[in-house]
Amino acid sequence: MPELRKDPITGRWIIIASERAKRPIDFKAAPATLRGAATCPFCEGNEASTPPEISAMRYPNTRANDRGWRVRVVSNKFPALRVEGDLDKRGEGLYDIMNGIGAHEVIIEHPTHKTSLTGLTEEEIREVIWVYRDRLQDLKKDVRLLYGLVFKNVGETAGASLEHSHSQLIVTPVVPQQVQQEMQGGKHFLDYRGRCLFCDIIKQEIETGDRIVVSEPNFVSFAPFASRFPFETWIMPKRHMTHFENLPQHLIADLAHILKATLAKIEGALANPAYNYLIHTTPFDVGEVDYYHWHIEIIPRITRVAGFEWGTGFYINPVPPENAAAFLREVRIS
């Protein structure tokens, strides 16, 4: 059973995923290269190579764990958290521990061996987004679970071990510190200014314009003012919206459009870099609030995080976000 441990100094949680455990010798080997098409467990026809299907977008008259799907959700083969069991919160002297209860799912985005989400049509990306929404809505029903993070690792540098385009969903029994921090920032601003910080950011970015990457009627993508990484880009709905999983159906096409356009620009500018993206949304047990706004953070992994970053939480970014955005705006996509 994986274990959640709380750092008594910072309050940060970590997951000891002992089932992924390795002996020191395992770290000496060179990192494995990404598994390509020949042996890909995510390709149609290889359904038996993954854990059983949790849900799928399927053609009529096809069966679970067989061909005929368009988007497929399975458990992670090496889950960081597991859904069975009790939290069993306990202490060990100074320290706090609970069982690693949660969920860790993989969303396989296409039946063929696409290596980028931008290789999918917008119609296909809509289905991927629909599945994100659907899985969050489903897992939210489990009262033990407080937060669901949808994320994507592309490329070995960004932590991917398979190249077939996929996302992941980890659902945790505590609210992550990063989200708590963002919510606190939003609350302080609301107390002080009486407005939503995220809405104000969108307003200022649209007015100044120099950090905008793509602006559409319902969504905007931009390089954040204090970008941690070169070409970091966020996507936000222009209207206030707290929970990603409540995304109204009529906006899904618009989100698919801006997500594909923004990723295609980043891929074009940086020659298909490794990247992560993640969706920050409001915790399951928090209702509609005035101070938090869901968003997608896209992080190209082209610089290295070193001792200074680990030691301070500061980041050194060699590319001013205004320059990154100007460059991305110019990238032509087909």
Residues 177-196 touching a second copy, rule: CB under 8 A, are 177-179, 181-182, 185-186, 189
Query: Does the footprint of a second copy cover residue 112 (CB under 8 A)?
Result: no
Q: Which of 42, 198, 244, 294 binds a second copy (CB under 8 A)?
A: 198
Instruction: State how far the Cα of 48 lies from the Cα of 41, in Å rounded to an integer.
Output: 8
- End-to-end alpha carbon distance in the chain: 47
CA distances from 270 to 156, 275, 277, 279, 325 (A): 16, 11, 16, 22, 13
Query: Does the footprint of a second copy cover residue 265 (CB under 8 A)?
Result: no
Q: Which of 240, 251, 323, 329 binds a second copy (CB under 8 A)?
A: 323
Q: Which of 60, 312, 332, 334 binds a second copy (CB under 8 A)?
A: 312
Q: Which is nearer to a second copy, 23 or 250 (CB)?
A: 23
Query: Does the footprint of a second copy cover residue 237 (CB under 8 A)?
Result: no
Residue 232, C-beta contacts closer than 8 angstroms, at least 6 positions apart: 223, 224, 297, 298, 299, 300, 317, 321, 324
Cβ of residue 151: shortest distance to a second copy, in angstroms?
Answer: 3
Instruction: State how far the Cα of 76 lies from the Cα of 136, in Å rounded to an integer.
Output: 16
Query: Does the footprint of a second copy cover residue 170 (CB under 8 A)?
Result: yes
Query: Does the footprint of a second copy cover residue 308 (CB under 8 A)?
Result: yes
Q: Which is nearer to a second copy, 13 or 130 (CB)?
A: 13
The active-site residue, picked from 104, 166, 280, 293, is 166
Provide Rg for the chain, Cα atoms. Answer: 20
Q: Which is nearer to a second copy, 99 or 276 (CB)?
A: 276
Instruction: State how far the Cα of 224 lies from the Cα of 323, in Å rounded to an integer.
Output: 12
- Eight-state DSSP code of residue 162: B
Instruction: State how far the Cα of 287 lies from the Cα of 52, in Å rounded to an integer.
Output: 33
Looking at 54-62, 86-94, 118-126, 249-257, which segment touches a second copy (CB under 8 A)?
86-94
Query: Does the footprint of a second copy cover residue 89 (CB under 8 A)?
Result: no
Cβ of residue 245: shortest distance to a second copy, in angstroms?
Answer: 16
Return the sign of the alpha-carbon dihedral for residues 113, 155, 212, 334.
negative
Write each residue from 276 to 295 as x if it is in contact with a second copy (CB under 8 A), else as -, in one continuous string. xxxxx---------------
Q: Which of 37, 52, 90, 305 binds a second copy (CB under 8 A)?
A: 305
Query: Does the footprint of a second copy cover residue 270 (CB under 8 A)?
Result: yes
Between residue 208 and residue 227, which ones bind a second copy under the rule CB under 8 A?
Answer: 208, 224-227
Q: Which is nearer to a second copy, 200 or 288 (CB)?
A: 200
Concatenating the DSSP letter of every residue in 31-66 gives PPPPB-GGG-TTSTT-GGGSSPEEEEEE-TT--TTS
166 is catalytic: yes
Q: Which of 70, 114, 152, 166 binds a second copy (CB under 8 A)?
A: 152
Q: Which is nearer to a second copy, 69 or 198 (CB)?
A: 198
Size of the site for a second copy (CB under 8 A): 94
| Selection from 268, 234, 265, 238 nearest residue 329 by Cα | 265
Between residue 46 and residue 75, which ones bind a second copy under the rule CB under 8 A?
Answer: none
Instruction: State how far the Cα of 48 lies from the Cα of 50, in Å rounded to an integer.
Output: 6
Provide the phi-psi class of 58: left if phi over 0, else alpha when psi is between -120 and 50, else beta: beta
Q: Would you name the residues annotated as active-site residues?
A: 166
